[in-house]
Structures are given as structure tokens and as C-alpha cells.
Structure 1
Amino acid sequence: MRTEAERGYFYYEYLLILSPSSEIGKTITRFKKYVEEEYGCKLAAQLIPHMTLANFIQTSENEEAIIRGFRNQASVVSPIHVGLKGFGKFNSHTVYVNVATPKPIMDLVSNLKVKFADKLKLVDSLKPYFINKLHITIARGMSPQQCEEVWAAYEKEAFNATFYATEMLLLRRPVVLSNTGYFESAGRYQKVAELPFEGKNSLGTQLPLFC
């Protein structure tokens, strides 16, 4: 039996995201770099500031169809007003910027899950992940001590910002199947598609620009 590479396609890990505006992104990047330099959190500044919507592993053979489906879904969504307020943490490993207006984005995620969960499933044991708590990570993969120190610095820090999300981005990075049977990263994420929110209804006409 031929391998996937011999058939001419490869495995990738895909990340479907929303990005903040350029100015807000720069501010959050400064947070991330500060945490990396001050507290030694090496996973703080590796990715651009973003909100993950979905994460999945698929083959390059299916990429065009996936992008086409996501693009069609994005075309009926109007730009989304997003509010950010303060900070939060997950257990003892992650500190993040809190999303104060999650509902419209979570409605989008719910629609994506209904329409694409089965299509994105590579095998029964490897299902796509759809986010259930919106956030923008500052640092992750920290030791409990690092997390407590970073949280002490940000817990009472004031941060408020708003922006309009006008598109989804689809990123991918190559992965390989290890000897243990798990996929492992084999490169950095790169952007493969911009998926603009166009606010069209099912007849193809334009909806109001902002919701």
C-alpha cells in the first residue's frame, strides 16, 4: 500500500483563527514578548495574537474543498464587533486576554461545527476541535510557578479594546506521524487562505456591513 506522500499529498495541522486589528495585535505582542523576556516563557511569542476557532488535522488532498467550504460560510457572515477586557488564566499553564463579547463569535463556531465537524474528521479517533472558551493567549505551556508569577502581574491590570473582525484566516503547518502513533509538528504555521466576512444572504445579496 502506498503512503500518503507517495500518493502526492501530506498531513497538515490546520488552525482557523480570527486576528485582532493591527494596533491591538501590536499591544498584545508586547505583552507576549514581555512575558517571554521577564519570565522565560518560551511559548509566549511564537504565534501572532489570535483567537482560535477550530483546529484539525487533514491531508493536502482535501485542502481546496475545505477552503471552499469555509469561504462560502464566511461570505454570509457580517463583520463582527469584538470587545476585549482584562485577563484570565487556565489552571496553572496559560494566561490570556479575555474576550468580553463572545456570543457572535461562538454562534459562528457553532455553525462551523454543525456544517464541518464530520467533513474535517480525518479518522474516528482524530476529530476536529472547536473552541469553547474564546481567548487570546499571552503565554502557554508554563510551569505552575511561572503561571502564578505572570498571573500576579496581569490579574489586576486594566486592558480594554474593541475592533471589528472582518475575516477568518486559515493557517497550516506540516505534521508527521511518529513511531508512537501521534502526529508531531514538522514546521511553522503559514497562512493558506483569507476568508472575508461579506455579509451576503443565501441569494447572494449584501447584508448590512456591521452587525
Structure 2
Amino acid sequence: MDALFQPSFGFHLYEYLLIIEPIAEAQKQIRAFKQYFIRSHRYPNAIVSKGHITLMRFVQYETYEKNIIRQLHQLAAATRPFDVELQGFGSFGHTLFVHVASTDPILELVSLRRTELRPLLNTRGFAPYFVSKPHVTIARNLTPSQHEAIWPIWNRTNYHGNFQAKNMILLKRKVGTHPYSVAHKFNFLGILPRFTQGKLFA
């Protein structure tokens, strides 16, 4: 086993996932899409977890967690709740997803601040991931033949939904284990001044 997965002086590596969860009717509809995928295509590729938009994913020692939470609190406090528009379906070839049409607030929230965030999240051997194309996954790990069979159907399926993003959630799990648990929820408050480049966590 890689030495990075071994406890070091009592410290443990954790996988972290920062997400936005659709609420109410949008979450219900996404769950219905996943169930329809399984019933109709009989591929075991649908994600059984609740639908979500991944903002970032990283691996870090748990000892950093309090500092990470503190910094994310500052980010959330400077962010106002915003509307998220879901429009149709997209594909990465291996992944079927609900397309997020209103990407700007999401990208500004995390991806455009990766320069400030990365030093806190970097761990040797594990580069942090920041969202570049926000989406809600319906099914993943599709083979080329599976994608060829299902994509013409989903490509012509119309869907429009929306919800207001009022918070983001940090999930965690020890490396190599399942499932995730909630580490912290951050409400969007919009009460602090907007951060400027290089001053996010000053």
C-alpha cells in the first residue's frame, strides 16, 4: 500500500467533497431520472446517492479540517444565495448528466478562486479538483456501446428545472472507505464584502 495511505504520527488522510445539493422538486426529479435510467437501460451505472453539483474534491490530512472549514465559512459568508437553472442533458461519453445552464455563480464561487484555495488543499500526491463544467450526474462509467445506446434517447429528452442554492456542504470519508459523512454545512449569507484576487483569506 502507498505510504500516503498510512497513518503518520496519528494523522489520517481524508477525501473531501464540497457540493451543492438541489432541493425540493429538483432533487425529486433527479432521483426519478436515475430510477428511470436503471429501469429502462438495465445498466447498474446510475448513481444511487442524492443528486448534487460537485464544487471541488481534494484529499487532505484531518488535522487541516478546522482551518479549511474556517476559510470556507468566510467564502460562504461573502456569497449570496443564487438561482441554479437545470436545462436538458449532457454527456462526457462515459458519464450522463443533467446540464447546469447557469454556471457563472458556481464557477465564481470556487473554480475562479482556486489560486487562493489550492495552497490549503494541496497534499503530496493528490491534486485538488475544481469544477469547470457544473453538472448533476445521472450515470457514470458507461462503456462506449452503452453510451451509443442511451445517448440518442437522452439527447432528445427535454427537461427544465431550477432551485435556489442557499448553502454548500463539505463531505468527508477516510481514504479508501465508504460512504461520505457530512463534515459541515455552510450557509450563503452575503454579509461580508466580496473578496478580491489575492485577498480571499487574508
Query: In structure 2, what is the equivalent of residue 117 of structure 1?
Result: 118
Equivalent in 25, 28, 42 of residue 26 of structure 1: 28
Instruction: Give the drift of 1:111.
Output: 4.3
Give me the whole-angstrom Cα distance separating, in 1, the residues matched to 2:178 and 2:13: 12
The match for 2:106 is: 105
Shift, 1:4, TM fit: 5.7
Letter in 1 for 2:42: G
Instruction: Give how far 1:53 is off.
Output: 0.7
* Counterpart in the other structure of 1:167: 167
Number of residue equivalences: 190
Shift of residue 114 of structure 1?
A: 2.5
Q: How does 1:186-205 map to 2 (within 5 A)?
A: 186-202=177-193
**Contact 2:121–2:128 (8 Å) recurs in 1:** yes
Which residues of structure 2 form unaligned runs of 5+? 195-202
The correspondence for 2:71, drawn from 54, 69, 72, is: 69
Q: Which runs of 5+ in 1 are unaligned?
A: 176-184, 204-211
Secondary structure of 2:7's aligned partner? helix
C-alpha contact 1:95 1:150 (8 A) present in aligned 2? no
The percentage of counterpart residues that share the same residue type is 35
Please tell me whether the aligned partners of residues 55 and 111 of structure 2 are also in contact (alpha carbons under 8 angstroms).
Answer: no
Correspondence for 2:198: none
Structure 2 SS opposite 1:35: helix
The aligned counterpart of 2:144 is: 144
For each residue in 1:5-49, what CA deviation from the matched residue of structure 2 results, as whole angstroms up to 9, or x when unmatched?
A: 363331111111111112211110111122133323334133210
- Cα distance in 2, alignment partners of residues 24 and 170 from structure 1: 20
1:151-200 deviation per Cα after TM superposition (whole angstroms, max 9, x unaligned): 1221111100111100011111221xxxxxxxxx3211111110110001
Shifted more, 22-31 versus 36-45: the winner is: 36-45
Instruction: Give the counterpart of 1:5 among 7, 13, 20.
Output: 7
Determine if contact 1:174/1:188 at 8 Å carries over to the other structure: no
Q: Which residue of 2 aligns with 1:154?
A: 154
Residue 47 of structure 2 contacts residue 140 of structure 2 at CA under 8 Å; is this kept in 1?
no
TM (norm. structure 1) is 0.84
Paired residue type of 1:191: V
1:85 is displaced (CA, Å) by 0.6
Q: TM-score, normalised by structure 2?
A: 0.87
